[in-house]
Amino acid sequence: MVQLTINGKQIEAPEGTTVLTAAKQAGIEIPTLCAHKELTPFGGCRLCIVEVQGFRVPIASCTLPVTNGMVVNTETDALKKSRKFILSMLFSERNHFCPFCQVSGGDCDLQNAAYHEGMTHWPMQPGWNKFAVDTTHPYFVLDNNRCILCRRCVRACGELVGNFTLTMAERGASTLVVADTNVPLGESTCIKCGTCVQVCPTGALIDRTSAYQGHESAMTQVKSICAGCSVGCGVNLFVNNNRIARIEGDWAGAVNHGLLCEHGRYDPMNEKRNRLTSPLMRKNGQLVPVSWDEALGAVADKLKPLAGKSKAGVAALVSTRVSAEAMAMFKELFTGGLVTSTEEGMTTAAVSAVGESEGVFEGKLDTLRNADLVLCLGANVARSHMVAGFMVKRALPKGLRLINVDPESSELDELADLSLKPRLGSDLAVIEAMQAIILQEGLGRAPLSMAEPAKVIEAAVQASGLDQETLARAARMLAHAVSPVILFGKGITAQRSEKLVAALLGLARLTGAVDGERMGLLSVKGEANSAAAALLGLEQQFALEDQQAVFALVGDDYLSRRMTEKLAAAPYLVVQASYASAVTEKADVVLPVALWSEQAGHFVNMDGRVQAAEKAVDAPAGIRENTAVLAEIAMRMNMPIKQDWHNALHARKTSLALA
C-alpha cells in the first residue's frame, strides 16, 4: 500500500493505482473526458490535471501512478483556471456549437464539463474544420467536426471489443477518427456493436435511433438482460413514453461489464414482425379474434382431459428465450406428457448428463480474463456469442493463443494460431489423440489412464484426416499453457454424446483447464435461457407420437420452418406468442403475450448466473404476460401450480455453479 495526501486528506492506495483512481476511491472527483474506467489511461484531454508538490507544472492524474508521500491538490484556483483554459481550447478546436445535445438523448460530457467549470462563453474563435460526416453506417453517424480526439472510441474498439476497426489518421489539427484504412464505416470491418458510440463523450459518434427522443434526464433507465443469446449481457434500457429509445451495455453487468453486440444494442429497435393484438380461435377454418375468456376456456377444456397422459396427451414446447419463471410454470403444467424446449437439449443435454454424474465443471466467462490459451471446439463465438468472442479477440494481441477446431471455416480461423479442420464426426478421436500425445510426452498435469496411446493417435489420424504433427502441435500448445480455457459449442453438443463431453472434461483436467477451484471449461449454449431449460430438464427431442394436442409457448422468439412443420402436424395446436408467424397461422388457438421488455423475469446465462430482467415498458392493451396466461390455464384446468421457479432451477445436479 502507498500513502499519499490528496486535498489534505490522508489516503491509502494499492501500488500501481493512478492518482485519479485513488482520488475517486477517496470520494474526490476530478473532472475527466478521455478517461474511462474500462479503458487504458491515455492522458489525452488533460482535463484531469492536478498539482503535485515538487512538480513544476500540473500533471494529468489519469496516467500518474501514486507514490509514497505524494501530496496532491485537485482544486486550487490555478488548476480551475487551467481547466477552463483547456476546455476553451477543446471547444475552439472544432465545431462544438452542437445541436446534438439539444435534440437527442445522449448527454454530452464535454458540455457537462463546461458547465462544471463555469464556462459561459467561448473566449477563442472556433476553428471550424470541414470534415465530411460519415453517414454510411446503419446504426450511427461519425462527425469528426465534434470530436475531441479523446480516443475513447479507438481504445474501446480495440481493447474491449477486440475488433480494431477504428484508428486515428493525420496529425495535429487535422487528426480524425477513421475506420480501417480510411474507408466509410458502413464498408469497414466494423461489427456494429456500438461500443464506440456508448463511450464517446461528445456528439461525434451518435446513435441514429435515439436522436430526437429527448434528453437522458427525461428518460427512465431500466436494468434488464439481453435475450439475444446465452451470454446474458446486462443492459440499461432508456425508456421514454413507453418506448425503448436506446439500449446501452450496463457497465455493472456481471458478465459483459458494459459491452453489447449488435443484437443486444440494436435488434430490439429494429423489430419488423407484426404484433398479435387479440386472442384468436379457429372457427370454420378461419382464425378469428375472440375474448381471452373464450380462448382460455377452449384451451382448458381441450387440455384438461389430456393432462398427464404421456403419449396420448399433450406435447408441450417452450422457447428457451422466455423467463425462468414462465419455463418452470410451463414444465409443471405439462409434466407427464412430452415437455421440452425449442432447443431440444441440442446445446445442453450431453453436458447436463455429464454434470449429473460429475457435478460442477463448467466455469465462468470471467476465466477468459486471465487465460493464456483458448481451445475452441464447434463454437463460432465471433458470431453466435459475440461478447464472449470479444473477450477472446481482445486478448489475442496481448498474447492469448487460440486453437480452433471446426470442420467448416469460421471467423475464428483467421484469428487462430492453429486451426484444425478435422472430418465431421471425428471430434472424439481428436480429443483422445491430444490426451494420448500429452501422456506420451509426459506433459499431463493430472493422472489419466489410457491403454495404448500410440494406437489412439493413429486412429485419430485416420478418422480426422489431420496429420500427427498437427495434432501434436495442438496438444503441446494446450499442455504448455499456464491457464488454458476450453470453449465448446453446438458443433460438439448437438452430437448429443456424453462420451464426447466427458472426454473434453478429461482433457481439461489433464491440462489443468479444470483443476480444483479453477473451471476453465465452458459450453456456450444457445438462447438466453438455454441453461434454465437444461436445469429444468427440458432437453428431449420434440417428436410427436399420438399426442392429441400441442401447446407451444413461443413468446417473442422465432421458430424455424423445421419446427413449424412439426408443430403444424398436431391435431390441435395452441400457440402462445407475441408475433404473427407461420406457426400462429397453423394454430387452433393463439394467445398473444408480452415481449421480453414488457415483463419481468429471470435468465440463467451460459455460465450459471441467474440474472433479473426488469419490466421496461407496458404491453399493448389486451396483451398478457407469459406467466399470467399459464397461471390462468392452470386454474381453469384445476391444476394448482406452485410457481416456485427458484427451487425448480436448483433441483437438478448440474455442470454449472448457479450464482
Ligand X SMILES: Nc1nc2c(c(=O)[nH]1)N[C@H]1C(S)=C(S)[C@@H](COP(=O)(O)OP(=O)(O)OC[C@H]3O[C@@H](n4cnc5c(=O)[nH]c(N)nc54)[C@H](O)[C@@H]3O)O[C@H]1N2
Q: Which residues bind ligand X (CB under 6 A)?
A: 229, 263, 342-344, 346-347, 377-381, 383-385, 405-408, 410, 424-425, 427, 489-492, 494, 524, 526-527, 558-561, 563
Q: How far is the CB of 386 from ligand X (least distance, A)?
A: 7
Alpha carbon distance 391, 613 (integer Å): 23
Q: Which does 418 bind (CB under 5 to 8 A by kind): Mo ion, ligand X, ligand SF4, none?
A: none
Angle, helices 427-440 vs 468-480, to 10°: value is 70
Q: Which does 491 bind (CB under 5 to 8 A by kind): Mo ion, ligand SF4, ligand X, none?
A: ligand X
Q: Which residues contact 291 (CB under 8 A, 6 or more apart)?
A: 279
526 binds Mo ion (CB under 5 A): yes
Alpha carbon distance 226, 261 (integer Å): 10
Q: Which does 152 bind (CB under 5 to 8 A by kind): ligand SF4, Mo ion, ligand X, none?
A: ligand SF4
Which of the residues 245 through 284 are near ligand SF4 (CB under 6 A)? 256, 260-261, 263-264
Region of 490 on the Ramachandran plot (φ > 0 left; ψ -120 to 50 alpha; else beta):
alpha
Q: Which does 424 bind (CB under 5 to 8 A by kind): ligand X, Mo ion, ligand SF4, none?
A: ligand X
Pick between residue 201 and residue 526 the one whose CB is nearest to Mo ion.
Answer: 526
Task: Reduce the DSSP state of residue 621 to 3 states and report it.
Answer: coil
Scan for cell 444457445, then name that residue.
526
Q: Which does 434 bind (CB under 5 to 8 A by kind): ligand SF4, ligand X, Mo ion, none?
A: none
- Cα torsion for 218, 223, 229, 231, to the nearest 10°? 130
539 binds Mo ion (CB under 5 A): no
Alpha carbon distance 635, 64 (integer Å): 65
231 binds ligand SF4 (CB under 6 A): yes
Task: Reduce the DSSP state of residue 66 to 3 states and report it.
Answer: coil
> Would you tell me how many other CB atoms lie within 10 Å of the CB of residue 9?
12
Helices (H), 147-204: 152-155, 195-199
Q: How far is the CB of 79 from ligand SF4 (least distance, A)?
A: 23
343 binds Mo ion (CB under 5 A): yes
Q: Which of residues 205, 326, 400, 429 is near ligand SF4 by CB under 6 A?
A: 205
Q: Which residue is nearest to Mo ion (CB)?
A: 526
Q: Which residues contact 503 (CB under 8 A, 6 or more apart)?
A: 428, 431, 432, 435
509 binds ligand SF4 (CB under 6 A): no
Alpha carbon distance 530, 185 (integer Å): 34
Pick between residue 520 and residue 526 the one whose CB is nearest to Mo ion.
Answer: 526
Q: Which of residues 32, 74, 145, 163 is near ligand SF4 by CB under 6 A?
A: 163
Q: How far is the CB of 377 from Mo ion (least distance, A)?
A: 17
Question: Per CB under 5 A, which region of 37-45, 54-62, 339-347, 515-523 contacts Mo ion?
Answer: 339-347
321 binds ligand SF4 (CB under 6 A): no
Alpha carbon distance 238, 616 (integer Å): 9
Sheet architecture: strand order including 234-240: 220-225, 234-240, 243-249
Cell of 645: 421457479
Q: How far is the CB of 467 from ligand X (least distance, A)?
A: 18
Enumerate the β-bridge partners of residue 140: 207
Binding site for ligand SF4 (CB under 6 A): 147-153, 156-157, 161, 163, 165-166, 177, 190-196, 199-202, 204-205, 226, 228-229, 231-233, 256, 260-261, 263-264, 385-387
Binding site for Mo ion (CB under 5 A): 343, 526
